Chains A and B, each alone.
Chain A
Amino acid sequence: DAGVIQSPRHEVTEMGQEVTLRCKPISGHDYLFWYRQTMMRGLELLIYFNNNVPIDDSGMPEDRFSAKMPNASFSTLKIQPSEPRDSAVYFCASSLVPGQGDQPQHFGDGTRLSIL
């Protein structure tokens, strides 16, 4: 089991550029979550999908943020245009049935995003 795979691990870009973060969930997992982690705000849920359908995007901070899940094995989080305050670590997580089982959520290693 390869776990949740995120790419890139690090991204440094200039303000105004489009940023695309990628996630490959664990095969067979029906749920996929995107989180943002900052020192000031801790770990925030941005959006989650069930069977590729966005269920709750109430955590998406602005219209500059968008997320898609075109198939069961791939999801993207886009920021356009990016701003310095978007700098954070972005985590993707997947699960079978959230909150249950031995591993209620499997996290990727995160993408550290720096907007200059």
Chain B
Amino acid sequence: GNSVTQMEGPVTLSEEAFLTINCTYTATGYPSLFWYVQYPGEGLQLLLKATKADDKGSNKGFEATYRKETTSFHLEKGSVQVSDSAVYFCALYEYNFNKFYFGSGTKLNVKP
């Protein structure tokens, strides 16, 4: 079946620290992969995406590379800011099932 596993939080970092949030997936076909971000009291917003193997998605200083060989899509940022504090969700879209599958979310706290 299809599923997404991401590291449990919360992750607490100091401002300007390096961020990695791990995400691995299982899929029956060739999914597209996404990272969504959820700020307090809001819905999910797309952060970045990658539609095929070796694609790198990037946005607002965040990056993630679609690694088919390791079935991973780890989120990274070189220097986090307090404003990056949010919950981050890894997700895959499986075209055969026409569905999104979301990870459990990782809460990031960035301290000044």
Contacts and interface: CB of A to CB of B under 8 A. Distances in A.
Q: Do the two shown chains form a genuine complex with each other?
A: yes
Interface of A: 4, 33, 42-43, 45, 48, 55-56, 91, 93, 98-100, 102-105, 107-110
B92 to A, nearest CB: 9
B49 interface: yes
A56 B42 CA distance: 25
Given A43-B89, A98-B93, A99-B93, A107 B43 contact: yes
Interface size class of B (residues with CB under 8 A): 10 to 19
Give the most central of A33, A99, A104, A110: most B CB within 10 Å: A99
Q: How would you classify the secondary structure of chain B's contact residues: helix, strand, loop or mixed? A: strand
Contacts of B46: 102-105
Given A43-B44, A91-B43, A98-B93, 12 more contacts: A4-B43, A42-B102, A45-B100, A48-B99, A55-B98, A93-B43, A99-B93, A103-B46, A105-B46, A107-B43, A107-B44, A107-B45
B32 interface: yes
5 contacts: A33-B100, A42-B104, A43-B44, A98-B99, A104-B34
A48 to B, nearest CB: 8
B41 interface: yes
B43 A104 contact: no
A40 B105 CA distance: 11
A62 B34 CA distance: 29
Contacts of B43: 4, 91, 93, 107-110
Contact of B49 (A93, A104, A110): A104
A56 to B, nearest CB: 7
Nearest to A110: B43
A43 B45 contact: no
The 10 closest A-B pairs by CB, nearest first: A107-B43, A99-B93, A42-B104, A43-B102, A107-B44, A109-B43, A99-B32, A108-B43, A109-B42, A110-B43
B95 interface: yes
